[in-house]
Amino acid sequence: MTSHIEKLCGDKGIKLTENRRIVAKIISESNDHPDVEELYRKAAKVKPNIGIATVYRAVKMFEEEGVIAKHDFGGKHRARYEELSDDHHDHLIDINSGKVVEFFNEEIEKLKEKIARDLGYKLVDHKLELYAVPLKK
């Protein structure tokens, strides 16, 4: 089955090798913002002889082609990747576990536009990252 990333590449006239198709499919099917190591672990299950360098190059290529988004959440965590989608969302990062939670808040979106407007700008892109620890229960 053709993954969303593979389809985007096809639209751009980019042909994917088998290895790149595997990586594309894994990213398309992930909703946990995997890093390269995780992608490699999953890819190796599909194709045991795939190398981490191959996975790394595939990810870099997808990033350069603008079909995936790279998130550098800082701290001790490596860069994380996700498929680019039309729906905007922001991220909350659990700094203990590295878990990434997606959220969307209409008021915040409006506020971002207002802040830009009040400063004399039209907003064209934005991202918000919240770094947090779980509340004690």
Closest contact distance (angstroms) between CB of 88 and Zn ion is: 10
**Binding residues for Zn ion, how many (CB under 5 A)?**
2
**Closest by Cα among 28, 29, 26, 21 to 37:** 26
What is the rounded CA–CA span in Å between residue 97 and residue 24?
25
**Closest by Cα among 13, 22, 17, 46 to 3:** 22
What is the rounded CA–CA span in Å between residue 84 and residue 78?
19
- Residues near 29 by Cβ (< 8 Å), separated by ≥ 6? 3
For residue 30, the one-letter residue type is S
Q: Whats the size of the chain, residue-wise?
A: 137
Closest contact distance (angstroms) between CB of 93 and Zn ion is: 10
* Nearer Cβ to Zn ion (72/102): 102
DSSP state of 6: H
* Nearer Cβ to Zn ion (34/50): 34
Closest contact distance (angstroms) between CB of 33 and Zn ion is: 6
The answer to the question of residue 102 lying near Zn ion (CB under 5 A) is: yes
Binders of Zn ion in range 65-94 (CB under 5 A): 82
Stretch that binds Zn ion, among 7-15, 22-30, 42-50, 101-109 (CB under 5 A): 101-109
* Nearer Cβ to Zn ion (6/82): 82
Residues that bind Zn ion (CB under 5 A): 82, 102
